[in-house]
Amino acid sequence: MIIRMEDAAGSGAGQAVTFSLTEGDTVHVLHPEQIVAYRGPSSGRSDRLMNVKGIYRKKKWIRADITGPSQFTAALPPGFNMHEIELEGEQDMLYDFRHVFFYTQHVTMQTRILKIKNMLVTRDAIKMKFSGNGSIGILTQGPVCKVKLHPTEPLYVDAGSIIAYPEAAKLDLTVYGNHLASQHMNYHWKLTGDGYVLFQAGRQNQRLVDELNDEGIIKRFLREAIPFGGVFIK
């Protein structure tokens, strides 16, 4: 399988991703509504309902299974990119299911249920564990960063920016810094352990752009000086 990514440079129109499959290739697309063009036999695409063990209030998703030889192009929304991750054998990384765009044949998924307190804060019930030989594609806002964990020195990562982390890592939802800092930040994962964590580095960009474009100094001061001003002052 060959993946070609095309950016509409400077237009803000998003990204187009073209998949070229040869005989014997199969790719499972978890956002089939983004497929805008397909070349190949009609029988080369088969959609099916995908039930992730009744999690997420028993909601179901449609998965498109596309086999080669064929070619298709998928459109990604503005601000999003796709990052391909190669898997080899048994992996211990847990992924946010919402970030996964595709996975190839010979890759298997397993669900991992989060702790109740983490579900309430993140509004996320499960993570996905992928293993096998193949690749997965994840949707990100901005570049993907990879940082090594330490057994005792914690790494704090914005809860909405984290993409994947080792299954054996220790996680706690928290904030850090002094009183003012903790009032004006999102919840963060506090991670310790071995292995690497993946996170996206562009999720906060739009807020900064909005501030630079049309937020006056008085309004910004009030938002930051008043406890929870970011909630009440828009």
Can you give the pLDDT at residue 142?
78
Instruction: Examine the pLDDT at 141 and tell me if it is beyond 60.
Output: yes
Residue 51's pLDDT is what? Answer: 66
DSSP-H helix ranges across the chain: 55-58, 116-122, 179-183, 205-214, 217-225, 229-232
The percent of residues above 70 in pLDDT, for the chain, comes to: 72
CA 15/CA 75 separation, integer angstroms: 6
- Is the pLDDT at 133 greater than 50? The verdict is yes
Higher pLDDT, 121 or 57: 121
- Arithmetic mean of pLDDT, 98-119: 79
The whole-angstrom separation of Cα 220 and Cα 224 is: 6
| Eight-state DSSP code of residue 132 | E
Tell me the per-residue pLDDT of 53-98, one tens digit each, with 9 for 90 and over.
544 544 567 889 999 999 999 998 887 888 898 887 666 788 877 7
pLDDT single digits (tens) 219-230: 555 566 666 555
Which pLDDT does position 184 carry in this prediction?
74
Delimit the domains of the chain by residue range. Answer: 142-226
pLDDT at 54: 46
Pairwise pLDDT comparison (111 vs 204), residue with the higher score? 111
Task: Please name which of 91, 156, 98, 161 lies closest in space to residue 129, comparing C-alpha atoms.
Answer: 91
Which residues are bridge partners to 131 per DSSP?
A: 108
pLDDT reading at 125 higher than 80: no
- Mean pLDDT within 17-27: 95
Q: In what order do the strands lie in the sheet with 2-7?
A: 2-7, 15-21, 70-76, 35-39
In tens, the pLDDT along 156-210 reads: 998 888 888 888 888 888 889 888 887 778 888 899 998 889 998 866 555 555 5
**C-beta separation of 193 from 203 below 8 A:** no
> What's residue 208's pLDDT?
54
pLDDT of residue 192: 94
d(CA 103, CA 57): 24
Query: Closest by alpha carbon to 99, among 71, 136, 63?
Result: 136
Per-residue CA distances from 135 to 2, 50, 51, 198 (Å): 12, 19, 21, 16
User: What is the average pLDDT value for the chain, to the nearest integer?
Assistant: 80
Identity of residue 35? I
At residue 28, the pLDDT reads 95
DSSP string, 59-99: --EEEEEEESSEEEEEEE-TT-EEEEEEE-S---EEE-GGG
The pTM is what?
0.73
pLDDT score recorded for residue 123: 58
Distance (Å, whole) CA 230 – CA 65: 43
